[in-house]
Structure 1
Amino acid sequence: MYRYILPLLLFVILLGSCDHPKQAVIASAPLISEHFTDDVNREVTLAQVPQKVISLAPNITEMIYAIGGEDKLIARSQVCDYPEAVLYLPEVSAYPSIDLPAIARMEPDLVLASSEIHNPIIHDYFDRLNLNLFFQSYETFDDIYRNIKVLGEMLHITEAANQLVDSLSHMEQLISDSTANQIKYKTVIIMGVEPIIVAGGGSFLNEMLAKAGGKNAFANVEERYPEITAEQLVKAAPEYLLFPTKNDQMYAELIARYPDLHTLLPAALNKHVFVVEPSITVRPGPRIIEGLVALVRLLHPRIDLTDLFPE
């Protein structure tokens, strides 16, 4: 697993975890009314600062911790695994099906969901129980920054949220600048091998790859994660193959199904086949900078990021 010490980001995260006396006073005081519009265009009205929050998506959980709002979390989904402290929270099933009765029994004042993972139709159930359900969408880096700020506003941790966004966007710009004049190697990001699924032009990974100085061979495909044939993969002639997975045998599984690829793909011939940590690349959360750094070090190893991001 790729792990980097990001000094500026770490400072912001630690800052968000510190006690904020003014925020504590605000959090304990009722609000007249605050209105928020989520990413499926539903308006959610909060009568007070949420004190019992359930996160149904791992990236949202990470964001809450990163801005110092973890004391408001009462439960998390079964796939929320970072930071380690979150594992001590009660878990509720959130994918592929949501344990709605279990959530209702916890009486949360705010439930956070991802429109990429969860069907917005579930809001009918929450509405009937008078529970606040808020959807967030994460298709771009700007979506991440915007929604971190929204979480900060909802939980009344705006200062820490704004500082985190400033830190992330600043580091993103430094990385983009470092790769701007580099050769953009043609790359395919493979998400699955049976069938072959790749990251298309509509995916978050497409933007991440571009910022890391790569060129997505399937950027012209609007679908986020299209299915392709082995013939299409050969025609794309990728110089790099990236596998964002915990399964370090995925390339071997691909070759077992399509043996000729090992001698037909430039990436294979040049040994430019890499497994990358999915939680910092596929998961659009506060560790996206770690994901960018990991990709830069694979695609452009001569770029020295040591001063900014020690290994």
Structure 2
Amino acid sequence: MMRRLRVFKALLTAVPFFVAYAAAAAPVQRVIALAPNLTELAYAAGLGPQMVAASDYADYPPGAEKLERVASWQGINLERIVALKPDLVLAWRGGNPQRSLDQLQSLGVPVITLDPQSVEQVAAALDQLAGYSAQPETGHRAAQQLRTERAALQRQYARATPLPVLLQFGTRPLFTASGKTLQSEILTLCGAQNLFAQSPVPWPQVSREQVLMRRPAAIVTPGDQAAQRAVAAWWQPQLSVPVIALNSDWFSRAGPRIMLAARQLCPQLAALPAPSSSARNDR
């Protein structure tokens, strides 16, 4: 494996457009994204025509599912990425193995790492990627639309007393999200309060007892109606509150469609009555 990589490195040194980092943004011709949300960001930034490969589960927008797969939960295919001669690779900081990314950079492949954790960071990523598109206005327009919609939702759905809500991801184990996540920000935009916003870790594992002590007025979970029913049944008979299931791709991926999840969530939370007493935050 290492011998083949050394051969690739020797070949790449003769190709002038391969640089370790893109020092200044300029339109590119061949782009690879190593996570589904990065594929969505690339397309939204106007880089769709330049996409040559992506990761497993990159299925949006239409056409992305036809891209060659060079990454999965098991890792990334270094040799194939190098063979495709990208002049920009979009990597997921914390999701793609750093050693593999370092190897790509050592071979002269330009890599940008992204891991947006807020709506503003998603917008900033779009602005950044717009610089690599032949039509940068596409990405800048998408970024501005995100910022405008975030402000509008904040105004429309603000509550004097935020609704205490549990963000639930899975049951075995039961884990949630802290206030340092994009998903928690969406709750806030919709006038809710994340029960575990003060958790020191981004994705804490919690117990039933910890949740019950905080008396949630609702539960928000990614998934379909089957997931909604499963979560509701899992809490019976101890807790009987509305369970709101959101489109998994919209809510779980840190990309432009996060605002679709917000538009799906906000009206449902707004229809719920104000809590009789505030839930307690995790301290």
Q: Decide whether the 8 Å contact of 1:168 with 1:289 is kept in 2.
A: yes
Residue 253 (structure 1) shift: 6.3
SS at match of 1:54: strand
- Distance in 1, matches of 2:145 and 2:228, equals 34
- Distance in 2, matches of 1:47 and 1:67, equals 13
Check if 1:278 corresponds to 2:252. no
Percent of aligned positions with the same letter in both sequences? Answer: 23
Counterparts in 2 of 1:105-144, with a 5 A limit?
105-144=83-122
Name the structure 2 match of 1:149: 127
- Distance in 2, matches of 1:201 and 1:251, equals 26
- Distance in 2, matches of 1:45 and 1:292, equals 35
The two structures have a TM-score, normalised by structure 1, of 0.75
Residue 95 (structure 1) shift: 2.2
Check if 1:223 corresponds to 2:193. no
Counterparts in 2 of 1:173-252, with a 5 A limit?
173-181=151-159, 183-245=161-223, 248-249=226-227, 252=230
Residue 58 (structure 1) shift: 1.5
SS at match of 1:264: coil
Q: CA RMSD in A?
A: 2.5
Counterparts in 2 of 1:38-53, with a 5 A limit?
43-45=21-23, 49-53=27-31
Aligned with 1:264 (options 226, 234, 238): 238
Q: Decide whether the 8 Å contact of 2:46 with 2:136 is kept in 1.
A: no
1:172-202 deviations in whole A, cap 9, x for unaligned? 1111100123542110111111111111222
- Distance in 2, matches of 1:62 and 1:132, equals 19
Unmatched runs of 5 consecutive residues or more in structure 1 = 1-31, 36-41, 303-311
- Distance in 1, matches of 2:87 and 2:122, equals 23
Residues 121 and 94 of structure 1: is their aligned pair in 2 closer, same or farther, counting only changes over 3 Å? same
Q: Decide whether the 8 Å contact of 2:153 with 2:190 is kept in 1.
A: yes
SS at match of 2:109: coil
Residues 219 and 251 of structure 1: is their aligned pair in 2 closer, same or farther, counting only changes over 3 Å? farther
Check if 1:58 corresponds to 2:36. yes
Aligned with 2:74 (options 90, 93, 96): 96
SS at match of 2:245: strand
The size of the alignment, in residue pairs, is 256
Name the structure 2 match of 1:297: 267
1:68-107 deviations in whole A, cap 9, x for unaligned? 3211000111121111211122122232311222212212
Structure 2 counterpart of 1:115, one-letter code: R
SS at match of 1:177: helix
Residue 45 (structure 1) shift: 3.2
Greater shift in the superposed pair: 215-224 or 178-187: 178-187
- Distance in 2, matches of 1:235 and 1:224, equals 20
Residue 255 (structure 1) shift: 4.4
Greater shift in the superposed pair: 290-299 or 180-189: 180-189
1:114-151 deviations in whole A, cap 9, x for unaligned? 11422333232112321111101211111111110000
SS at match of 1:163: helix
- Distance in 1, matches of 2:81 and 2:71, equals 9
Q: Decide whether the 8 Å contact of 2:228 with 2:244 is kept in 1.
A: no
Higher strand proportion, which one? 1
Unmatched runs of 5 consecutive residues or more in structure 2 = 1-15, 273-283
- Distance in 1, matches of 2:224 and 2:79, equals 32
Q: Decide whether the 8 Å contact of 1:75 with 1:91 is kept in 2.
A: yes
1:276-297 deviations in whole A, cap 9, x for unaligned? 1121112121112211111102
